[in-house]
Structure 1
Amino acid sequence: MAIRGPRLEFAVGAFLLLALSSLLVLALASTNRQFGFGGDTYPLVAKFTQLGQLRANAPVKIGGVVVGQVSKIDLDPKTFQSVVTLSIDGRYQDLSADTSAGIFTSGLLGESYIGLSPGGDPESLKPGDEIAFTQPAVDLLQLVGKYMFSSGDKASGDDAATQTPADPAALPAPEGQTP
């Protein structure tokens, strides 16, 4: 016969509430969203030819420090480039006009993020301005494929450096001898 009392029921209820609240905190902490933290932001726009695995809410970093996030990704119907809208924290409003943006990956298989490299222009980017200098994402599968197929040509003997000319007169004469 199990003993049930108000103390046991209260303890079980408190434990469940604590467990659910800790799961909620963990879920909020694992996302890139800022719920009311960080103050105001301002938008910047960057156009890329290749996004790779970049997604909305991806971080925007300067020197490894998160300064914003990707708020929206669209396609320009005229140039067919990807248009990425960045929400930059208001504390970093003095980015130089020649700031460059690139899409990078944390580690080998990590998340994609946008890395900003401020330049030296005395003019600053205004809210809504476009970052002119961009570097697209690197597709690792394409690089591996190119490397595998280019190294396969050298192994098969198609390399020009390993072939000998058919005409012996085309060979250079040894030192001290004239052909």
Structure 2
Amino acid sequence: MRNKQIELLVGVFIVFGFFALAYLAIQVSGLAFSDKKKSYQIVARFDDIGGLTARAKVAVAGVTIGSVESITFDKELYVALVKMNIDQDVDNLPIDSSAAILTSGLLGEKYIGLSIGAEDTFLSPGEEIYDTQSALVLENLISQFLFNSTTGEDK
């Protein structure tokens, strides 16, 4: 009888562990069980997105205010078109704000950081941020450093 209680307790513990692991995986992946906040969409064009993905965060001063909805290729301008969903309560982004693709830490995830402008008029749904800064790609920096240092002449 004592053996069956231990087996039952171990079984409950394993089932609880699986549920905890599934919940943690869903939270880390960016999916959520809660309802989505109301949002509006703005767009920005970048020359190089450098690994930015859909559902990446959009932040101002380190505070998440939205997420990347989709990334497509603009065939006319040959750039990446990024659509962002911004939380409805953040309705005071000036039209001269700028967007940059940043990295969390040295090799962390990519996200969009918005820098606030100084204009008195605000971005409306569907409008575009024109001042953008593409991602800093580590591989490009390393190759530039290697090729510039080996091809340069010593003086």
| TM-score using structure 2 length | 0.89
Equivalent position of 1:77 in the other structure: 75
1:33 deviates by: 3.0
1:153 deviates by: 3.4
Equivalent position of 1:167 in the other structure: none
| TM-score using structure 1 length | 0.78
CA shift in 2, pair 1:4/1:100, >3 Å: same
8 Å contact from structure 1 (residues 38, 89) kept in 2: no
Q: In structure 2, which of residues 56, 64, 67 is the aligned counterpart of residue 66 of structure 1?
A: 64
Alignment of 1:91-130 (within 5 A): 91-130=89-128
Larger Rg computed on CA atoms: 1
Alignment of 1:47 with 2:52, yes or no, is no
1:32 deviates by: 2.2
What is the SS of the residue equivalent to 1:70? strand
C-alpha separation in 1, matches of 2:130 and 2:53: 21
C-alpha separation in 2, matches of 1:42 and 1:34: 19
Q: In structure 2, which of residues 12, 18, 23 is the aligned counterpart of residue 25 of structure 1?
A: 23
| CA offsets 1:52-72 (integer angstroms, 9 cap, x no match) | 011111111111111111110
Give identity over the alignment, percent.
36
1:150 deviates by: 1.7
Structure 1: any 5+ residue segments left out of the alignment?
163-179
Instruction: Tell me which stretches of 4 or more aligned residues in structure 1 moved more than 3 Å.
Output: 2-5, 7-10
8 Å contact from structure 1 (residues 32, 59) kept in 2: no
Give 2:16's aligned amino acid.
Answer: L
- RMSD of Structure 2 on Structure 1 (CA): 2.0
